[in-house]
């Protein structure tokens, strides 16, 4: 499978498949495709895995596309202004994504629920205590909000991230929540009460425009009904 990511504000990934190759995606992500791409809706692993994906912010069912009778083309578009990133998944190289980040991937990758180890991360991390874990092997595409900035963390090295800005991290990284020091900082600093602390080793992808922040910014301008 070959691919090309095009566009900046609202990107799309265009995939060129050999005959018989398959891709999986969430419903609604397919933008256009060649006529020989066959779609099949599947639970992809049974109802247990389907429910796990639902907890991780995805749909119960996935669409599987197969190139029939020769090479095929299929494109997957982002649903929000931001970025599409490609990741190579292999045994021992799992990825952790924010909720609803999974866009599409080769049929040899598996999407499952990932629970943050510490309860505090769940209640105060801003994105819920459930994230997405991608394992198996092959190429997977994820969509993030806004521009993406990357950091490579050494063992024990940490970075503090404000709520919602964590887009993805290597499964080797760990996450915890720390309280903003000082009562005045908490209540008058305008940055919230908690921060997410990510500890290496591993790679971290941060997004510049979390959709939750965008929703909060426009909420005061939305008329409310009587």
Query: DSSP 3-state assignment of 95?
Result: strand
What average pLDDT does the segment 191-195 reach?
64
**For the segment 26-51, what is each residue's pLDDT rounded down to a tens digit?**
777 899 999 999 999 886 554 445 44
Homologous superfamily of the 2-76+83-218 domain (CATH):
Mitochondrial biogenesis AIM24 (3.60.160.10)
Decide if pLDDT at 186 tops 50: no
Q: 102-117 pLDDT, tens per residue?
A: 999 999 999 888 766 4
Contacts of 8 (CB under 8 A, 6+ apart): none
What residue ranges do the domains of the chain occupy?
2-76+83-218
- CA 143 to chain CA centroid, Å, is 6
- With a CB cutoff of 8 Å and minimum separation 6, the contacts of 90 are 137
């Amino acid at each position: 499978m070959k691919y090309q990511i095009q566009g900046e504000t609202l990107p799309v990934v265009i995939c060129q498949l050999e005959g018989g190759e398959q891709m999986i995606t969430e419903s609604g992500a397919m933008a256009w495709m060649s006529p020989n791409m066959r779609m099949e809706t599947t639970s992809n692993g049974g109802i247990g895995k389907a429910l796990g994906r639902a907890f991780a912010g995805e749909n119960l069912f996935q669409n599987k596309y197969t190139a029939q009778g020769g090479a095929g083309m299929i494109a997957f578009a982002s649903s929000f202004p931001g970025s599409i990133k490609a990741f190579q998944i292999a045994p021992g190289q799992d990825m952790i994504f924010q909720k609803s980040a999974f866009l599409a991937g080769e049929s040899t990758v598996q999407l499952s629920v990932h629970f943050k180890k510490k309860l505090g991360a769940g209640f105060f991390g801003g994105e819920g205590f459930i994230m997405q874990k991608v394992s198996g092997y092959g190429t997977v595409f994820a969509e993030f909000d806004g521009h993406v900035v990357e950091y490579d963390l050494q063992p024990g090295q940490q970075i503090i991230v404000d709520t919602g800005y964590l887009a993805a991290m290597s499964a080797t990284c760990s996450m915890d929540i720390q309280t903003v020091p000082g009562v005045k900082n908490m209540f008058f600093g305008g940055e919230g009460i908690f921060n997410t602390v990510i500890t290496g080793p591993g790679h971290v992808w941060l997004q510049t425009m979390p959709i939750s922040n965008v929703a909060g910014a426009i909420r005061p301008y939305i008329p409310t009904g009587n």
